Chain A
C-alpha cells in the first residue's frame, strides 16, 4: 500500500503540523508578552555593559568558551520513532537506515538556528572583548555548525548496538575536541579551529558510517529516547495548551496539605474542597499561577521604570485570574459531581472565594518584593495599592459578572 520511502515525509509532515499547532498557542500566550519585556530588559542591560568594554580583556575568551560549548548542546537527534515501530517496522530494519539519515539531517535545523542566534548575540562582545577579528569569528561559527553535525552522527550511531564503553569514548573525544577547538578559536585562530574540525569531522563521519553497516538498531532504547525527547517538548507546550497524555498531570504535593486545610477550611463545602485540590495538585492550573508569580517577581527586580512595572504587574494580576477561570467548569462533566447532592448555587461562591485567596497571595508576594526592590520609596507603595485595587475589582466586580454570563451561556 505505502512505500517505505514515504515513511519519513509522512512523519515529518505530521510532526511539523503538530508543532505548528502547538506553537500557535505558545506565541499567542500572554507569557510571551512577559518574555518580550524580559528580553528587552536583558538586551538593554547587555548594551550598557558592552559600552564599558572598549579594549579586549583577558576574561573575554573565557566567557565565550562555556556559552559556545552550551550552544552545542541545543537540539537532539529527532528520530520520530514510535512505540509501535518495534512491532511493525522490525522486519524492515535495513530500510530504516535511509529513514534515520533523513532524521539526522532534519535534526540539524533547530540547533543550526540556535547556534546562529547565540553566535549572533555574542558577536559584538567577541569583537570588542577579545582579539579575534571578524573573519576568524565567522570561521568559529562554521566549525561549530560542523561539530553539531558530527554530534548528531554520533547520536545516531549511539542508537545501534556498539559497546557502551565505546559510546562513552566517542562522547569524551567529541567534548574534548570541542573544548580545545573553541579555545583555539576564541583566542583568535578561528581558521585553525575550522580546518581541524573539517578534517576530523569528515574522518569521523566516514568511519561511523562504515561501522554502522554491520550493526543492529537498539529498538527499545531508540524509542525510549525519542519518547523522552518528545515528552520534554510536550511538557513545554503544556504550559500553554492542554496536550493529550501530558495535560492534567497530578502531583500529591503533601507539603501543601496545610495550605489546603487553610483555604478549604475544616467544614468546607464540597465545591471549595474540590476546587482547592484541583488548583494545588493539577499542574495545569497551579502552574498558571506559579508562572505569573515567578515572572512578576523577576520583573520587579529587573525593570527599573516604575510606570512600566506598574502596568505589567496590573496586567499580570488580571491575567492570572482570567486564565484560572476555566477551573470553574473543571467538574461540570464529572459524573460524581452531577450525582452527589450538592447545591449548585454554592459553586459560584466557592470559586470566587478561592480565586480571591489565590490572587491575594500573589499580590502579597509582589508587595514584599516591591518593598524590597523600591526600598520603601513612594512608587513602591503606589504600585502595591494599585495592585490591590485590581485584585479587589477583579474578584468583586468582574468575576461575578463573568460567572453570571457563563451561567446564562449554559
Chain B
C-alpha cells in the first residue's frame, strides 16, 4: 500500500504541494482529481521519484525510494499522460525492455502481453515503431507495458483522454482485474463520470492542498450537488476560490 505523509514539494523554487497526506490501500482504486495546476501530476512525480520532496515521506509497502530504489521502483508501474516512448525501439522491443527492467518471467509476461495486445488490437503491430502510431494507440502501448508487470501500485495519469470508447471500456475492465488481484491503483482524471465506475475513492486537490477526500456520494453531499452531476463539484470549488 502507498502512504504519502505530509508531502511538501514541487519544482526547484516553486512549491506546489503543501502538506499532502493520503493513502491507497491494497485492492483500492483512488482517483486524484482537481483543476489544471492543482498539483495532480506533481504528486505523481514525487511518488515516482522524479521530483525530490522538500519534506514529507512517501512509502510503498513500508519502503521508501531512498531505502532501496530498485525494489521500490519494481513495485510501481506508470502510464504517463502523454506517451513516453523510445523512438528507436519497436513495440515488441518496448515489451521486452519492460520484462528486462522489471525482471519478469518472460513466458508469463508474454502471455499477459499478448492478451493485452489482442484486447487493444495491437497484436499485428509488434514490429513497428510506436512513435509512428496515433496518440491513442501510443497510449495503449503504455497501458500494455504497465499492466503486464506485477507491480503492486499502478499509477495512471489521465487515462481516458485520447482513447476510443472501446479502449476506455477495456481499460476500466483491466483496472477492475488489478483491483481483484489486490493491487493498488492511483489515477488522475478530469472525467469523473467515467472514473467513478471503478474508483473507490476520490482525492480532490486544490492549489496543492487536499480539499476533500471520499466516495462519490460523500463528495457530492459535501459540495451540495447530486451524484449524477458529480462534475459540478469543480464549478462549486471554483466559486469557493472566487474564480467563477
Contact = CB atoms under 8 A, between A and B. Distances in A.
Nearest to A253: B88
B86 to A, nearest CB: 7
Contact of B80 (A250, A254, A273, A335): A335
A252 B92 CA distance: 13
B101 interface: yes
Nearest to A279: B88
B97 A282 contact: no
B48 interface: yes
Given A278-B88, A335-B80, A336-B86, A341 B97 contact: no
Interface residues of B, number: 30
Contacts of B202: none
Interface in B116-173: 127, 129, 131
A334 B86 contact: yes
Given A250-B129, A277-B88, A339 B100 contact: no
A341 B70 contact: yes
A336 B102 CA distance: 12
B73 interface: yes
Nearest to B151: A341
A128 to B, nearest CB: 53
Contact of A250 (B71, B87, B97, B98): B87
A270 B100 contact: yes
B70 A273 contact: no
B88 A341 contact: no
Interface in B199-217: none
Nearest to A342: B101
Given A250-B87, A335-B84, A339-B76, A273 B100 contact: yes
| Residue in A248, A269, A277, A278 with the greatest tally of chain B CB atoms within 10 Å | A277
A220 interface: no
B23 interface: no
Contacts of A254: 127
B93 interface: yes
A268 B100 contact: yes
B50 interface: yes
B93 A277 contact: yes
A343 B70 contact: yes
A360 interface: no
| Residue in B84, B101, B129 with the greatest tally of chain A CB atoms within 10 Å | B101
A194 to B, nearest CB: 54
B26 to A, nearest CB: 20
A227 B142 CA distance: 34
Contacts of B131: 250
A355 to B, nearest CB: 17
A88 interface: no
B5 interface: no
Interface string A220-254: 00000000000000000000000000001010101
6 contacts: A273-B100, A277-B89, A338-B49, A339-B78, A340-B97, A341-B102
Given A335-B80, A340-B73, 6 more contacts: A250-B88, A250-B131, A273-B97, A274-B97, A339-B49, A339-B50
Interface of B: 48-50, 69-74, 76, 78, 80, 84-90, 93, 96-98, 100-103, 127, 129, 131
Interface of A: 248, 250, 252, 254, 268-270, 273-274, 277-278, 281-282, 334-336, 338-343
